[in-house]
Structure 1
């Protein structure tokens, strides 16, 4: 009799384990969307010249160095004359869409720099006219748009 009660007790308490819990697709989607870190990409945007980079950090460094090199060479060709010394960090807000199109959203600089070098905005924008093909960033096997800031130190004496 004790054995029968024991088996009956186990069967009655274990019935809850056999019930399936239904979860809506909206709830699953919401949980998945919250689990994704939207501030990081799986692969950074890159140029074909950066194919040798294997890690994500190397790809990012190669991409940024390529932009800095292109910008520096273009700025060195310019003959900029100022009446006062200019020392400023200009921040370029760069956008690369999911097809690899490069654009500068904004250029943030001091008013003094803007007054001393009024053509700096157009010089910076034209520095990137000869960019090679950009391969967009990848997030979860999908091409995605990215935005980042590129600081440029302007120091003219």
Structure 2
């Protein structure tokens, strides 16, 4: 009987450790969450109204890029561009879409020959963005966020 009481007393005294609750601070939770957070991906890409019917994320991205490419290419095709040499170049345009849906051309990588033959190519690119349809910004965790992306545009002038 005495051994049972000693055993029971030992179990009661050592079991108190199981009732200790470890508290986690909000800062620790935030730090852990930020480490698992993928900063390079969004839940929804920026889009135009004609892309709203699409539900797959990758399809929306492709639609956005196609609408933007079509708009810029269409604008450039309507311009009268006179060159002395044939040009076949791929321009790489770096864009940024703000949280409010404003599109901004950050940088344009243009071949030296293209710049020489079409000296106003950059101003034409900026002009083409003036008449761009309304853009809905990207969304990350329910918040509208700023995004940046590259868009290749093929230029062929004969």
TM-score relative to the length of structure 2: 0.89
* Residue aligning to 1:132: 133
Alignment of 1:1-150 (within 5 A): 1-150=2-151
Question: Deviations 1:84-105 (Å, cap 9, x if unpaired)?
Answer: 3323221111111101111111
Measured in 2, the distance between the counterparts of 1:2 and 1:148 equals 74
Measured in 2, the distance between the counterparts of 1:53 and 1:122 equals 33
How much has 1:44 moved relative to structure 2? 0.9
**Consecutive unaligned residues in structure 1, runs of 5 or more:** none
Distance 1:70 1:6, change over 3 A: same
How much has 1:153 moved relative to structure 2? 1.6
Higher mean displacement: 93-102 or 3-12:
3-12
How much has 1:45 moved relative to structure 2? 0.9
Pairs aligned (count): 157
**Consecutive unaligned residues in structure 2, runs of 5 or more:** none
Alpha-carbon RMSD? 1.7
TM-score relative to the length of structure 1: 0.89
How much has 1:121 moved relative to structure 2? 0.6
Measured in 1, the distance between the counterparts of 2:91 and 2:10 equals 74
How much has 1:109 moved relative to structure 2? 1.2
